[in-house]
Amino acid sequence: MTTATVSGAYPFLAEGGLGAEGIFIGRDVHAEAAFCYDPFSLYNSGRVDGFTNPNAVLAGIIGMGKSALAKSLATRAIAHGYRVYVPCDPKGEWTVVAQALGGHSIALGPGLPGRMNPLDAPARPTSVPERAWLTEIRKRRLLLLAGLTRTVLKRDLLPVEHTALDLALDLVVADAEAHGAVPLLGEVADVLGSSRRLDQALGDHAGRMGSAAEDLAHALRRLVHGDLSGMFDAPSTVAFDPTAPMLSIDLSRLGGTGDDTALVLAMTCASAWMESALADPASGKRWVIYDEAWRVMRHIALLERMQSQWKLSRGLGIANLMVFHRLSDLLSAGDAGSRGRVLAEGLLADCSTRIIYRQEPDQLGAAASLLGLSGVETRAVSALTKGRGLWKVAGRSFVTQHLLHPEEKALFDTDARMSP
C-alpha cells in the first residue's frame, strides 16, 4: 500500500458497540471491548436504525456453543428481571438450568405423570376485556386444532374441514361449560368422528359435514390413542406459575426418532399451552427460546403458529430466540415461493438480531444470500471457532466471543454425556 492509501484507510477504527446497556455477552473481537445486548433496550431506545423487533435467530453447526449462548442469555436475563420460557426442549438439556435458576421443568413422555391440556384457557389478564379474551382463546384453540390435524394429514385443510373443526370445538366447549369441565382433545376427536352430531349442529341434512370430518377425527386419534396418548388428552396436572423465573418443557423422553411427527405434535401442544399462558401483557419482559427449532422448520403448521405468536409478541413484551443449524433449514420449509418458504422467510425477516456461528463451507452461499452478508462477513463465518459468532444487529455487524462463567460452563456442559 502506498502512504496515500494508508492515510485514507486509517486502520485504528472499530465499531463503537451497542453500548453498555443490557446483558454482558462477551468480548467484541475487533473492538476488544465488552459486548452487551438487550433487545428491548435497543428496540425502545431507537439507537440502532432498522431494529424493528426484539426477536433473534441463532444458527451454527453442531457443538459450536449455540445452546450455551442461549442458556447464558437466559441466565443473565433473569438477573435483569426477565422471565425465560423454553416451550420445547427435545434434548432435556434445559432442565438443570431451569432448576438452578429457581424455575421449573415439566417432563412429558410415555409413563410419566405429567399431563398438559393444550385446550386450557389461561386466566384472563386484567387488562383484556372479557369478550376479547373469549375470542382470543377460541382463535388459539382453532389454530391449535388446525395445526395438529394438518401435521398428521401432511396437507392443507379443506374449507369444509375448517368448518368442521369450528363446529366440533364449539360443541365440545359448550358441553364442557355445562358440566363445569375443561374441553379435551379426545372429545373434539369424538365429535369429529360422529357425523350425526356435526350434521345436526349445522343443520346439514345431506350429511356432508360429518363425512368431511372423518380425516380430522383420524388425525386427532394419534394424540388420543396413538403414541402420544394420555399426555395431551387429559386435564392438566401441571399449572403455569407466572411468578417463576423460568419454565422449560422437557420432551426428551418422547423417544423414537426417525419420524419427527410425534415430536412436532408434542411441540405444537406444549408451545400452545405455554404461549397462551404468556398472553398477559402485564407480565414484564420475557424471552421465549426455541432451541433445536430446525426440527420443526419443515412443518408448515408449526411455522404458522410461530408466526402468529411472533406477531403478538412485541406488544406482550416477549422476545423470541430461534436456534437452528444451517440457514438452509429455513429453506427446507418449501420451494421458492411456496407457503412454507414464505412463512420461514417471514420469520427470519421478523428477527432484527441474527447471530451466525460457524457454517459448513457448502452452506456459506445460502447464508450469505439469506442474510445479506458481505464477502468479508462470509469469510469470517467460515473461520469462526467455538463460542464465536457474527452478530448482525439490524444493519450493524460484530464478531463476538461469548464468555462463559466457570459455573455456567459446568451447568451448561453438553459434552459431559459424551465422556466416559
Ligand X SMILES: Nc1ncnc2c1ncn2[C@@H]1O[C@H](COP(=O)(O)OP(=O)(O)OP(=O)(O)O)[C@@H](O)[C@H]1O
Question: What residues line the site for ligand X (CB under 6 A)?
Answer: 60, 62-68, 386-387, 402, 404, 409, 412-415
Q: Which residue has the cell 453442531?
A: 62
DSSP E strands in 262-410: the ranges are: 286-290, 318-324, 353-356, 388-393, 396-402
> How many residues of this chain bind Mg ion (CB under 5 A)?
1
Span 213-272, contacts to Mg ion by CB under 5 A: none
Residues 68, 91 contacting (CB under 8 angstroms): no
The CB-of-67 to Mg ion minimum distance in angstroms stands at 3
Which of Mg ion, ligand X, none sits in contact with 183, Cβ below 5 to 8 A by type?
Answer: none
In the complex, least distance from residue 91 CB atom to Mg ion, rounded to whole angstroms: 7
The entry of ligand X, Mg ion, none near residue 287 (CB within 5 to 8 angstroms by kind) is none
Q: 369 contacts which partner out of Mg ion, ligand X, none, CB within 5 to 8 A by kind? A: none
Dig out the grid coordinates for 138 from the structure: 377460541
- Percent helix, strand, coil in the chain (nearest 5)? 45, 15, 40
204: enclosing H helix or E strand: none
What's the distance, CA 204 to chain centroid? 40
As to burial, measured by CB atoms within 10 angstroms (0-12 exposed, 13-18 middle, 19+ buried), residue 264 is buried
Query: CA–CA separation, 226 vs 357, rounded Å?
Result: 38
Nearer to ligand X, 129 or 406 (CB): 406
Do 252 and 237 meet the contact criterion of CB atoms below 8 Å apart?
Answer: no
- Write the DSSP string, 109-130: -TT-S----TT--PPPPTTS-H
Contact 174, 183 (CB under 8 A): no
The grid cell for 225 is: 390413542
Q: Which does 62 bind (CB under 5 to 8 A by kind): Mg ion, ligand X, none?
A: ligand X
Closer residue to ligand X (CB): 84 or 228? 84
Cβ distance to Mg ion smaller for residue 67 or 151: 67
CB of residue 289 to ligand X, shortest distance in Å: 12
CB-based closest residue to Mg ion: 67
Backbone angles phi, psi at 54, to 5 degrees: -90, 5
Q: Choose among Mg ion, ligand X, none what residue 54 binds, the Cβ cut-off being 5 to 8 Å by kind.
A: none
- Does 67 participate in binding Mg ion (rule CB under 5 A)? yes
Distance CA 57, CA 66 (A): 10
**Shortest distance (Å) from residue 66 CB to Mg ion:** 5
Which residue has the closest beta carbon to ligand X? 387
Nearer to Mg ion, 57 or 220 (CB): 57
Closest approach, Cβ 372 to ligand X, in A, equals 23
| Residue 91 vs 138, nearer CB to ligand X | 91
Shortest gap between Cβ of 68 and ligand X (angstroms)? Answer: 3
- The DSSP code for 156 is P
Q: Give me the 25-64 binding string for Mg ion, x by CB under 5 A, dash otherwise.
A: ----------------------------------------
Tell me how far, at minimum, the Cβ of 412 lies from ligand X, in Å.
5
Please, what's the largest Cα pairwise distance for the chain?
90
Residues lying near Mg ion in the complex (CB under 5 A): 67
